[in-house]
Every structure is written in C-alpha cells, then in structure tokens.
C-alpha cells in the first residue's frame, strides 16, 4: 500500500495581504503628489512655450506682422486666410497648421487682443492658467506683471 502524504496548501494570509496593501497605500501617498506636481509644472512650461515672448504662437503673430505690417485681428487669421486678404496676396501663408493650436494645456482658448491692454505698443496673448479665469495670478502671457 502506498503511503499517503498530506500536502499542505500554502497561500497568503489575510495579515500578509493587508500588510502589502498598507505599504502600497503609503507609497502612493508619497508618489502621487510628486507626479501631479510635476504634471502641473509641465503644463505651465508648455503654456509659456506657446504664449511667452518667444513662444510658438507669439512667433507666428510676429511673423504675420512682418509679412503684412499689421497684427492679425484674431488668432484664426494665422491658420485661415482672412477675408480682407486677396487670394493672390503672396504675403499671407498658413502661419500655424490648425486652430486647435489655440488651446492652452488645460484645454482653454488662448486670449488674444490685437491692440494690447498690458502691452500698449503691441498685442496681448495669454493663457488663463490652471483656474481658467482671466486676470488672476496664474495667468501666463507675453507680458510681465508688475509687482
């Protein structure tokens, strides 16, 4: 007759599972704020790269000015030929690929004023920042705020 061996099934105890979950929660408490903070800073840098004095949209506006001796009436004039510019006028070309370019990293439309209120001798271009409201402390633009 064969001998019977008893095999004991091994698994994780409830205490072990709870300990691992506790460790994961503690790690998440440190990692998540770090990641979201880095994401927020990345959004701010992306907005500055769009609307800052040497940003991509600002440079397109400056190029428009150099070509046509006036600032565009709206940002869409950078992507689509304005009605008051003849089809034969070779000075105008598509300065940006799409009007979708005119959204900031938070998904809000950029604010553009052909005759600047902050930049009295030029134009104003800004992102309303993370709060999505204009004229607040987190606005990012082609101007310097006075302290």
In this prediction, residue 147 has a pLDDT band, given cuts at 50, 70 and 90, of very low
What pLDDT was estimated at residue 5? 62
Q: What whole-number distance in Å separates Cα of residue 113 and Cα of residue 143? A: 12
Return the structure tokens found at 74: 């709206």
Average pLDDT, the chain: 85
Cα dist from 124 to 27, 41, 91, 116, 129, whole Å: 44, 23, 23, 5, 15
Q: Is residue 22 part of a domain?
A: yes
Q: Is residue 8 part of a domain?
A: no
CATH number, position 25: 3.30.700.10
Q: Is residue 32 part of a domain?
A: yes
Q: What is the mean pLDDT of residues 14-26?
A: 78
Q: Is residue 81 part of a domain?
A: yes
* Residue 141 and residue 51 in contact, taking contact as beta carbons nearer than 8 Å: yes
Is the model more confident about 37 or about 86? 86
Q: What backbone phi and psi angles, to 5 degrees, belong to 12? A: -85, 140
Q: Is residue 28 part of a domain?
A: yes
Q: Is residue 5 part of a domain?
A: no
In this prediction, residue 63 has a pLDDT band, given cuts at 50, 70 and 90, of very high
Q: Is residue 2 part of a domain?
A: no
Domain residues for the domain of 65 are 14-141
74-96 confidence digits (pLDDT tens): 999 999 999 999 999 999 989 99
Q: Is residue 96 part of a domain?
A: yes
Give the total number of structural domains in the chain: 1
């Amino acid at each position: 007759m064969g001998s019977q061996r008893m095999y004991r099934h091994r698994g994780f105890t409830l205490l072990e599972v709870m300990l691992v979950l506790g460790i994961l929660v503690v790690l998440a408490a440190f990692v998540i704020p770090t990641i979201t903070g880095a994401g927020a800073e990345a959004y701010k840098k992306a907005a500055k790269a769009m609307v800052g004095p040497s940003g991509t949209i600002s440079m397109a506006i400056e190029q428009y000015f150099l070509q046509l001796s006036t600032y565009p009436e709206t940002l869409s004039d950078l992507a689509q030929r304005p009605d008051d510019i003849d089809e034969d006028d070779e000075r105008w070309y598509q300065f940006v690929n799409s009007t979708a370019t005119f959204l900031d990293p938070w998904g809000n439309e950029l604010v553009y004023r052909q005759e600047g209120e902050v930049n009295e001798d030029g134009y104003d271009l800004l992102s309303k920042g993370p709060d999505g409201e204009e004229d607040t402390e987190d606005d990012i633009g082609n101007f310097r705020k006075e302290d």
